[in-house]
Amino acid sequence: MNNQTYYELYRRSSIGVALTDALDDLISDGRIAPQLAMKILSNFDRSVTDILAQQVTAKLSFKGHLDTYRFCDEVWTFLIKDVTFKLDNSQTVQSERVKIVSCNSKKPGET
């Protein structure tokens, strides 16, 4: 088992919120301990990150107006307005605002 730390970004996705709600219910009912719930969430963080890295091959490009950007604690955050996404099947999707969060994907010690 490696000691890589995984980000908790996907906990705010719809499936992450559903998992958290279910775990909260199980803890409230006394069916699992909070420590087990934390271990499950940690495994969720690792699994989602690994699956997205290994199995998602779709690509897209986007164009928009950069409104705000930040770099804090090794994490970039970009707020983009009036965004047009072009998917790899040539379909386009429009959005008024998009938030992109970018984290370092290198393992400790990698260059």
Give tens-digit pLDDT for 30-65. 999 999 999 999 999 999 989 988 999 888 999 999
Give the bridge partners for 60, in sequence order: 87
My answer on whether 27 and 42 are in the same domain is: yes
Q: Is the pTM of this model over 0.75?
A: no
- Look at residue 31 and tell me if it is in a domain: yes
Closest by CA position to 109, among listed 32, 1, 19, 3: 3
My answer on whether 51 and 21 are in the same domain is: yes
Q: How many domains would you assign to the chain?
A: 2
My answer on whether 20 and 46 are in the same domain is: yes
- Look at residue 26 and tell me if it is in a domain: yes
| pLDDT at residue number 1 | 44
The Cα–Cα gap between 41 and 7 comes to 11
CATH number at residue 14: 1.10.287.190
Which residues form the domain of 36? 9-55
